[in-house]
Amino acid sequence: MKKTSTRLADGRELIYYDLKDDSLRDAVDRRPLERTVTTSEVRRDPLLGDSVAIASHRQGRTYHPPADECPLCPSQGDRLSEIPDSSYDVVVFENRFPSLAGDSGRCEVVCFTSDHNASFGDLTEEQARLVLDAWTDRTSELSHLPSVEQVFCFENRGAEIGVTLGHPHGQIYAYPFTTPRTALMLRQLAAHKDATGGENLFDAVLERELADERVILEGEHWVAFVPYAAHWPYEVHLYPKRRVPDLLGLDEEARTEFPKVYLELLRRFDRIFDGPGGGKDGAGEPPTPYIAAWHQAPFGQLEEFDGVNRDDFALHLELFTIRRTSGKLKFLAGSESGMNVFINDVPPERAAERLREVASS
């Protein structure tokens, strides 16, 4: 992997990650951009104890541009984009309309490929490995910023999720706090450790899932399963079998196997709704919308979680879709949005069975 860092016309950082060491990246951003002005602010909710990012400048962000005006495609001739060069393998740059900025953290965009019509599942194993290396590098770099406590790499795919740019890409949020979902995990981790005299909760969950009927894929170093209490209609958790706190902790064997397992998982997601009334064999339903979210241990202090340290946390990826069946979405209504109590219409065992059925030939 070759890494080249440069600056866009408004001062934002852009980084090329290339498969070939002889790639030359000297293209200049020719757009007449002024310095980005953000109004990001983090406010703490005194009743719930969580944090809310207030970012009014995002109202003016790019919204569903036509394909020939996509800001994530390479620049070509007089058509200038966020990427100055005419081609790229993987690119990461500071978001022009960040939810978090300055002392409130940082937001970055990760472009997985220059092919506008592709998706992550279309990548080769070599390309997917490059994305993994980029995620790892950004996690390392962002963790050293004074304002950053947790790094979150994720992908939103599909208009149903709220994606406003069709180009295959993801994002990285570097939070100045430990996120509420991670805090919940850490509290459960601490309580379990105390109640069992030191047993690790992640290890116990993984051991139980490996012995159950909801395993989807299993390699030498990774395992994917539908969790016992899945919140979403089709939800899969992907764990390295050797517990590590973050992407930096993965060894070379796990990094090498990851692309094969993850690409197969994404491709199965695109086949869930194939058949009468949807998918490739039916009425032409769009590709499965999903969110893919990496959960990593915070880099800040964990004193509030008694007896827990970073190494107790288990890196894992959670992949889920909001589509519950062909043509129907799972909406977060009163119970979910009002009380955070999820109601799942698809039994996890049936979801796991379906994801095994759609294995590639």
- Structure tokens that stand for 91 in this block: 């690119």
Rounded to whole angstroms, how far apart are CA atoms 88 and 127?
A: 11
**Are the C-beta atoms of residues 152 and 179 closer than 8 Å to each other?**
yes
Q: Residue 199 and residue 189: Cα distance in Å, rounded?
A: 9
3-state secondary structure of 267: helix
Residue 235, strand partner residues: 320
d(CA 183, CA 166): 32
CA–CA–CA angle 169, 113, 16 (5° rounding) = 95
Longest dimension (CA), the chain: 65
Q: What does the DSSP 8-state code read for residue 312? A: G
SS3 for 217? Answer: strand
User: Which residues are CB-neighbours of 228 under 8 A, at least 6 positions away?
Assistant: 208, 209, 212, 214, 348
| Residue 169 annotated among the catalytic residues of the structure | yes
CA gap 163, 225 in Å, rounded:
26
One of 167, 169, 221, 316 is an active-site residue; which one?
Answer: 169
Which of 202, 205, 189 lies closest to 308 in space, CA to CA?
Answer: 189
d(Cα 351, Cα 331) in Å, to the nearest integer? Answer: 18
Round to whole Å and give the CA distance between 121 and 302. 36
Of 57, 34, 55, 60, nearest in space to 43 by CA: 55
Which residues have a catalytic role annotated?
169
